[in-house]
A and B are shown apart, each in its own frame.
Chain A
């Protein structure tokens, strides 16, 4: 309220007139009270106004005295009383304005820190911060840009709905880190404004928002009318605080995101460990079953040979069975040993030498053709007499695994094609392909089929025996030879495995 102090000033003047004591009346000191009151309540404007009124009302007492008596100590005192209220009102008012501005700045800084505590999305928090800054600076418009590029930066402005030019002053500050100040945006030759100047100048400043990481954004503030020095200093100070608060908020958000990602990774790893644990359990069960089957056969036929005297033909057949089951047992134990080596990180014991590929493939194809008469095996080579640089036993195991796999996953019989040729896309390598027209592998399972203990479930292949180690062993053996294995498959159409091994001396 400014009216009451002004009325009090007028009342003091009226009292002096009524008492008729002239310019040296003791009542003149009372001018200071409403003047200081006005300054305390309304700042420099209120204090100055009340002081000016007091001076003006005292002038009719002081000036005639000067004219009448000349410059004496009494009339000088009267003149001082004329100017003192103005001075006091302005000084006290200015101090009040300064302290209020500082208090408002502190309030704004606290409010900004509370809003940017990382609990809410940055966009909505920034809009509130822009409003806090606008109120603290008594500005007309405030915009906050957070980011490093005007095109991708987050924008919060009050009032909302501001168009953004890619080469605006805020973009310049964002890109260069340099502040911009304009006494009148409409008349500033650097600003290509379409709007005609209004009756009051439009002041504008941009300041970079900086933190330890450098420029994190920019703040743009516009005022209409006068821009006091205090407001400009406050804008500079708030820009520093907003920059730090924004950086803190971003760090908090990043930390929360990191914690979420970490939690997701831990959950995924735990699930994978559970899967592995279950797979190992299943593996033990399968291993027991796989070992028991040949052992049972060995036990049964050997007991038969020991207890009964069999005719030579029958005894020989028993011995053939015993040999076959012993081979099966040997293959399983061999695979388990290889697996053990791979898992413990020990190198596989390989003795590479030139291997006649034709003979090895032909032998295996004939063996499988004899055992699996429901399938049609076909073996072709584009280069007769082809050879690879490999360990013969390991290569044999790889082929048996691939053929066994093709047979297992073609449960209703079908075609199994085996071919060998120079790798067309990899000079110096030999390609051995095993192709079937079985159940195929779903695309989502393809990345996992070379993992250990993995068996792709299919209703038609439930009865198929196996440890889920064959393909992982083939892969490990191929890589140990300096080669690799690839697969192409379509569910319902079949699969094609491509084993690539180095030729002898690096050529085919």
Chain B
């Protein structure tokens, strides 16, 4: 019991500050890479989407890198793992644009992440550990339910239909597994929610980080620009975010929330206008 066993120094009131400077450096680098990718896309349209891939990879690499910095408080030596993760994300994103089955390269990103985080105690603190079966099943069920609800509502309102291209669907799923859902869970539920939850209580932390994750999706150029689609995104992604936060708090692990996101996006990816 730490209130009895640990030394207490009442005068020590300065809390560890977030690593703003490294985060700023990483954000600048990510924006710069994304801008470079967009510039390539405009200037070299015949390069088969390399520029687009570079931009997409840079954004996800930036999100994963900031999550790493917040989780580890930018301990010395952070540049190595961040660089390797960013490289994996960018290469996967470029591969996804270059070949039909290239998106499967996104599956490398979780593998690199697991390799880099192995043996780091700070990773357990953000929830990067195993979970009991019940939260995993609950996460999967919640994501599946929200995904099915989205399909039903979208079909009733927008008249969206399920599309049948297996390669595109598999690619989208791989993107969710290795970039989209991974970066969202890693940064918003892992690093940011944990940091906020440690400082306050569940609801402020969950609302703040869910809002940030919804904003991140609203800024995604892949989201349909229609107002109804954006309202739906706020509604569903807000629910997905809150459910993921609740599962993270309940189970102490990021995996159930990750499964919720995957299940939801697995349903979402079947839609086509």
A21 to chain B, nearest CB (A): 15
The answer to whether A346 has its CB under 8 Å from any CB of chain B is no
Q: Which residues of B contact A143 (CB under 8 A)?
A: 1, 3-4
| Neighbouring A residues of B16 by C-beta, 8 Å | 187, 189
Which residues of chain A have C-beta atoms less than 8 A from B1's C-beta?
A: 141, 143, 157, 162, 220, 222
The answer to whether A164 and B127 touch across the interface, beta carbons within 8 angstroms, is no
**A171 contacts B8, CB within 8 Å?**
yes
Binding stretch for chain B, among A197-205, A258-266, A350-358, A437-445: A197-205
For residue B21, CB closer than 8 A to chain A, the reply is no
Give Cα A60–Cα B200 distance, bound, in whole angstroms. Answer: 36
Q: How far is the CB of B196 from chain A (nearest CB, A)?
A: 10
B128 — nearest CB in chain A belongs to which residue?
A199
Interface presence of B6 (CB below 8 A): yes
Contact B153 A200 (CB under 8 A): no
* Complex contact A168–B3 (CB within 8 A): yes
Chain A residue with minimal CB distance to B11?
A190
Does A165 interact with chain B (Cβ within 8 Å)? yes
Flag B34-54 by CB within 8 Å of A: 1 or 0 each. 000000000000000000000
Closest to A158 in B: B1
Q: With A56-B149, A60-B156 as given contacts, are A191 and B8 in contact (CB-CB < 8 Å)?
A: yes
Q: Are A222 and B125 in contact (CB under 8 A)?
A: no
Complex interface: chain A residues within 8 A of B194 (CB)? 199
Within 8 A of A (CB), among B218-257: 228, 239, 249, 252-253
Contact (Cβ within 8 A) A196 B8: no
A193 touches B6 (CB 8 A): yes
Q: What separation, in Å, do the CA atoms of A220 and B4 have in the docked complex?
A: 8
In the complex with contacts A170-B3, A171-B8, A196-B121, A184-B198 CB distance below 8 A: yes
Q: Give the nearest-CB partner of A188 in chain B.
A: B15
Is B80's CB within 8 Å of the partner chain A? Answer: no
CB distance from A45 to the nearest CB of B (A): 9
Please give, as numbers and ranges, the residues of chain A lying within 8 Å of B253 by CB-CB distance. 199
A47-82: which residues lie under 8 A (CB-CB) from chain B? 52, 56, 59-60, 63-64, 67
Given the known interface contacts A187-B198, A198-B125, A222-B3, the answer about A67 and B228 at a Cβ–Cβ threshold of 8 Å is yes
The reply to whether the CB of B201 lies closer than 8 angstroms to some CB of chain A is yes
Residues of A within 8 A of B273 (CB): none
User: How many of B's residues come within 8 Å of A, CB to CB?
Assistant: 42
* B252 to chain A: closest residue by CB: A199
For residue A192, CB closer than 8 A to chain B, the reply is yes
A197: chain B residues at CB < 8 Å are: 122, 125, 198
Number of A-B contacts (CB under 8 A): 138
Tell me, in angstroms, the Cα distance from A228 to B201 when the chains sit together.
Answer: 8
Interface: A225 (CB within 8 A): yes
B164 within 8 Å of A (CB atoms): no
B124 touches A192 (CB 8 A): no
Flag if A196 contacts B125 (CB, 8 Å). yes
| B8 engages A199 (CB within 8 Å) | no
Check if B12 sits within 8 Å of A189, measured CB to CB.
Answer: yes
CA–CA, A180 to B9, complex, Å? Answer: 11
Asked whether B76 is an interface residue with its Cβ less than 8 Å from the other chain, the reply is: no
Task: Return chain B residues, CB-CB under 8 Å to A180.
Answer: 3, 8, 10
Whether A199 contacts B2 by the Cβ 8 Å rule is no
Smallest Cβ-Cβ distance to B152: which chain A residue: A60
Does A479 make an interface contact (CB < 8 A)?
no
B5 lies within 8 A of chain A by Cβ: yes
Known: A59-B153, A64-B156, A190-B13. Contact between A226 and B6, CB under 8 A? no
A190 and B12 in contact (CB under 8 A), knowing A64-B157, A225-B249, A226-B202?
yes
Interface status of A172 (Cβ within 8 A of chain B): yes
Q: Which residues of A contact B252 (CB under 8 A)?
A: 198-200
Q: Mark contacts of B127-138 with chain A using CB atoms, 8 A cut-off: 1 yes-contact digit, 0 otherwise.
A: 101000000000
Q: A60-B149, A196-B124, A198-B125 are in contact. Are A190 and B197 (CB under 8 A)?
A: no
A169 with B8: CB separation less than 8 A: yes
Q: A64-B156, A196-B124 are in contact. Are A164 and B4 (CB under 8 A)?
A: yes
Residue of A nearest to B201 (CB): A226
Select one of A168, A187, A199 contacting B4, CB under 8 A: A168
Contact of B6 with A192 in the complex, beta carbons under 8 Å: yes
Choice from A59, A194, A221, A227 contacting B201 with Cβ under 8 Å: A227
**Which of A147-182 touch B at CB < 8 Å?**
155, 157, 162-165, 167-172, 178, 180
Q: Give Cα A220 to B1, complex, Å.
A: 9
How far is A196 from B120 in the complex, measured between Cα atoms in Å?
11
Which residues of chain A are within 8 angstroms of B146 by Cβ–Cβ distance?
56
Q: Which residues of A contact B202 (CB under 8 A)?
A: 226
Kindly report which residue of chain B lies nearest to residue A67, judged by CB atoms. Answer: B157
Report the bound CA distance from A59 to B151 in whole Å. Answer: 12
B249–A200 CB distance below 8 A: yes
Q: Is the CB of B149 within 8 A of A59?
A: yes
7 A–B contacts, CB within 8 A, in A order: A162-B4, A185-B2, A191-B6, A192-B6, A199-B126, A199-B194, A222-B3
Q: Which 7 A-B pairs have the closest CB atoms?
A: A199-B252, A220-B3, A169-B8, A184-B198, A192-B7, A197-B125, A196-B121
- Interface on B for A, CB 8 Å cutoff? 1-16, 121-122, 124-127, 129, 145-146, 149, 152-153, 156-157, 194, 197-202, 228, 239, 249, 252-253
Question: A residues near B, CB below 8 A?
Answer: 52, 56, 59-60, 63-64, 67, 141, 143, 155, 157, 162-165, 167-172, 178, 180, 183-202, 204, 206, 220-222, 225-228
Known: A63-B153, A172-B10. 8 other contacts (CB 8 A): A157-B1, A165-B8, A169-B6, A187-B15, A190-B10, A196-B122, A202-B2, A204-B3
